[in-house]
Structure 1
Amino acid sequence: MGKKMKQLALAGSMMLCMSAQAQVSDDIVKIGVLTDMAGVTADVTGKGSVVAAQMAVQEFGQTVLGKPIEIVSADHQHKTDLGASIARQWYDTGKVDAIVDIPNSSIALAVQRIAKQSKKIVMFSGAGTTALTNDQCSPYGFHWTYDTYALAHGTASAVVQNGGKDWFIIASDYAFGAQLAKDTTQVVTAGGGKILGTVRHPLNLSDFASFLLQAQTSGAQVVGIANAGNDTITAIKQAGEFGITQSGQSLAAMILMIDDVHSLGLDVAQGTYLTTASYWDMDDKTREWSNKFMQQTGKMPSMLQAGVYGSVLHYLKAIKAAGSDDADQVAAAMRTLPINDVFTHGAKIREDGRVLRDMYLARVKSPAESKYPWDYFTIVQKIPPEQTTMPLSQSTCPMVPAASK
């Protein structure tokens, strides 16, 4: 190639680079972690979710299309109006391109509506309601880590198959708990079991005595705990004080994470089955990433924090592939690219925004089985997405083609 041709090629390359850079709005890609910093789910999201997002940015290389990436964060305090206000301000004037995490289904649904109106990306790791990918789905919304359908079809199915047919459910009284109780009920009855009663409690409850008494007097074989975070920990601890398991009933925590087990201790939590999207001790890569996370947080990552990391990394890959941070182009690229990160391999995004991923049925180890710090889970089996994802034939999402229903 002659000198002139080389100059032309170089000039063309520079123009392409400049064109790509010009496609980043405000000359920055800004991602907001909307989370719970001090409430009932702070241990499994909160500051750890912010660290996870930052680790994704570091892994990606700190810039995308030649522009810097910034992580901002805020505490929604489990107040729907506050969470919605933060999201609107971020999207409208804060130059935030995408919001992630959002533990609390009621807040997540509110943010989904705002993101759709604003034509901005939102990726849910902390929220669990299936409404996010059903009647309230959005072309800009992605349900990343889990939903109540996945938890119910993992944990409840396993308990029913092992003979736990009669259930009493204690659920938190907001969108997540209501949906989790509903999904659990469907799984139990489909497996030939019965629900003898369901009660709902307010968020962040300190005294479960009246609810546990109802569960105890129901005579149910299984007491299903359909709440999250500190509520789960408190309910299980007080169930022990009430002698629930000593009297022959079993506990089934519909969502139980590694931080919850750490707080409870293996003596209390041992033998409990749970469904998880990830575990820090799966292989060398998950251990390496998790040990870096622990250096910054003092603990191992929950599946929700691992999901924040994965969602941010995939979003940045999509911007690079699209050559723009335009939400429509990025959303299309996110649906096209396979999802691969330390914890997730070959997952994909469905028409309704649901991430199709492998889940894992795990059992909490006994103190004797645990050999080193945070060695809490035995992975019983991998569960393919076909078993833990609501079929499109049941979908109420307007984006799902009629032929798929």
Structure 2
Amino acid sequence: MGRFPRPFTLAALLAKTALSGLALSAVALSAQAQTTQPVRIGVLADEAGFASDIGGKGAVLATRMAVEDFGGSVLGRPVEVLSADMQNKPDVASNIVRSWFDVDGVDMVTDIPVSSVALAVQAVAREKKKVLMISAATTTELTNAQCSPYSIHWADDTASLAVGTTKAVVQSGGTSWYFITADFAFGTAMEKAATEAIKQAGGTVVGGVRHPMGTSDFGSYLLSAQGSGAKVVALANVGAETIGTIKQAGEFGLTESGQRLVGYIVFITDIHSLGLDLAKGLYVTSGFYWDKNDQTRAWAKRFFDRHGKMPTKEQANTYLATLHWLKGVKAAGSTDAEAVTAAMKSMPTDYFGTPGSIRKDGRVLYDLELYQVKTPAESKAPWDYYKQVRSIPASEAFLPIESSTCPFVKAK
């Protein structure tokens, strides 16, 4: 009697067994759903603003190409690509990625132009323990004071962009500089890094001016630059604003008067929009150029056939970052952020045939090249725009890990 304090029947036992079986089946089905649901990648892009041509829909295409080249699935699960226009606004971008992580089950976000946007999104991803593969924003803060253990920074940063261009121009006689700077996180960070590089190379900065995002009339800024007497006018802006500044500089006769024009973040699509008559002589620092080697040419042709333009370094970095993340997921056997970032950092990177690495602070290390834009006479074919000036080894281009202020790096 002690075993059955209440009346016991065979029917009750069968009913209890059936309910237990249903519960186990539900758990099994839930586990199966977990393992077969798609792996999702979010491309956070500027699809209509000043950076849309250098990333935008081309960055979305590059991500899809990486997924296709990987085989379309990982860990037996299909890979889906979502995209959104974050309008270059940190609050809009943060809301998008929160929804992606909480509602849509996005496992990784890539592209992410504009430094202020990237810093805001990185804070959200750090809170949610999600991976960012940042292939567009350039501020060094992403791997310094505001770093995340789940972020990998693929884009060449403000420090690396400052090094090669500045040294070459100062050494060739460009010893005095004036800045026209976009008044947001990238512009101010770029000017700061470039100023330090100029001084280290023996040059001086005689002045500068800042313009708001969305500026189209650069006349007053260029007049100030002309009046400064500086030998070099440096452009710490990006995309349509860089193009507009260079075009109007031509109208003002700035280079004809003897001043040099240097763009710190210039993309091949900018040169294409400007034309070689206006762009000739510009210095460009980049880890990617479509005509660098057989691998870059082969991939760029495939991209061009689908996009109608040669890929920018942002689009190429987005492709490489996505491919490396998929390799990391496969190696980790999971989409867990900690497991995947550990796997990615343990593997060498492949920069279209050139090996690289990822530091513990998330900085991707690879060699850069300093190019100069060709004259119309030097260009032999469409998109044949760059000639190599010199190589910049990764050890010279990127800030050393010893100077990092990243909390989880300093704690080790």
- Please give the TM-score of this superposition, normalised by the length of structure 1: 0.92
Deviation per CA, 1:300-325: give whole Å up to 9, x if none. 00000000000000000000001111
What's the offset of the Cα at 1:273?
1.0
The counterpart of 1:261, out of the listed 261, 265, 271, is 271
Q: What is the correspondence of 1:91-130 to structure 2 with a 5 Å cutoff?
A: 91-130=101-140
Residue 381 of structure 1 corresponds to: 390
Pick closer, same or farther for the CA change 1:24–1:322 going to 2, 3 Å: farther
The structure 1 segments of at least 4 consecutive aligned residues displaced by more than 4 Å after TM superposition are 21-26
How far apart, in 1, do the equivalents of 2:207 and 2:411 lie? 37
What's the offset of the Cα at 1:272?
1.0
The counterpart of 1:271, out of the listed 253, 277, 281, is 281
How far apart, in 2, do the equivalents of 1:351 and 1:73 lie? 28
What residue identity is the alignment partner of 1:257? F
Contact 1:24 1:65 in 2 (8 A): no
What residue identity is the alignment partner of 1:367? P
- Name the SS for the 1:198 alignment partner: strand
- Name the SS for the 2:44 alignment partner: strand
Pick closer, same or farther for the CA change 1:145–1:239 going to 2, 3 Å: same
The counterpart of 1:31, out of the listed 25, 41, 49, is 41
What's the offset of the Cα at 1:24?
6.5
Residue 173 of structure 2 corresponds to: 163
- Please give the TM-score of this superposition, normalised by the length of structure 2: 0.91
How far apart, in 1, do the equivalents of 2:49 and 2:167 lie? 30
RMSD over aligned CA atoms reads 1.5
How far apart, in 1, do the equivalents of 2:187 and 2:350 lie? 30
What residue identity is the alignment partner of 1:213? L
What residue identity is the alignment partner of 2:271? V
- Name the SS for the 2:407 alignment partner: coil
Contiguous gaps of at least 5 residues in structure 1: 1-17
What's the offset of the Cα at 1:85?
0.6
Matched, 1:327 2:337: yes
What's the offset of the Cα at 1:25?
5.9
Residue 395 of structure 1 corresponds to: 404
Contact 2:175 2:202 in 1 (8 A): yes
What residue identity is the alignment partner of 2:71? G
Pick closer, same or farther for the CA change 1:344–1:33 going to 2, 3 Å: farther
Matched, 1:353 2:351: no
How far apart, in 2, do the equivalents of 1:85 and 1:26 lie? 27
Contact 1:23 1:323 in 2 (8 A): no
Contact 2:153 2:364 in 1 (8 A): yes
Matched, 1:316 2:296: no
Contact 2:295 2:353 in 1 (8 A): no
The counterpart of 2:310, out of the listed 296, 300, 310, is 300
What's the offset of the Cα at 1:401?
3.8
What's the offset of the Cα at 1:149?
0.5
What's the offset of the Cα at 1:380?
2.0
% identical aligned pairs: 51
What's the offset of the Cα at 1:393?
2.1
Deviation per CA, 1:155-213: give whole Å up to 9, x if none. 11211111111000011000000000000100011111111112110112110011111
Residue 288 of structure 1 corresponds to: 298
Contiguous gaps of at least 5 residues in structure 2: 1-27
Pick closer, same or farther for the CA change 1:338–1:24 going to 2, 3 Å: farther
Contact 2:90 2:117 in 1 (8 A): yes
Pick closer, same or farther for the CA change 1:22–1:143 going to 2, 3 Å: farther
Deviation per CA, 1:277-320: give whole Å up to 9, x if none. 10111122211111111111110000000000000000000000
Deviation per CA, 1:110-157: give whole Å up to 9, x if none. 000000000000011110111000000000011102101010012112
Residue 58 of structure 1 corresponds to: 68
Contact 1:223 1:250 in 2 (8 A): yes
Residue 5 of structure 1 corresponds to: none
Give the greater-gyration-radius structure (CA): 2
How far apart, in 2, do the equivalents of 1:227 and 1:26 lie? 44
Contact 1:106 1:176 in 2 (8 A): yes
How far apart, in 1, do the equivalents of 2:294 and 2:88 lie? 36
Matched, 1:192 2:198: no
- Count how many residue pairs are aligned between Structure 1 and Structure 2: 383
Q: What is the correspondence of 1:173-188 to structure 2 with a 5 Å cutoff?
A: 173-188=183-198
What residue identity is the alignment partner of 2:368? M
Matched, 1:131 2:170: no
Deviation per CA, 1:332-374: give whole Å up to 9, x if none. 0010011115x35211111111001111111111111111110
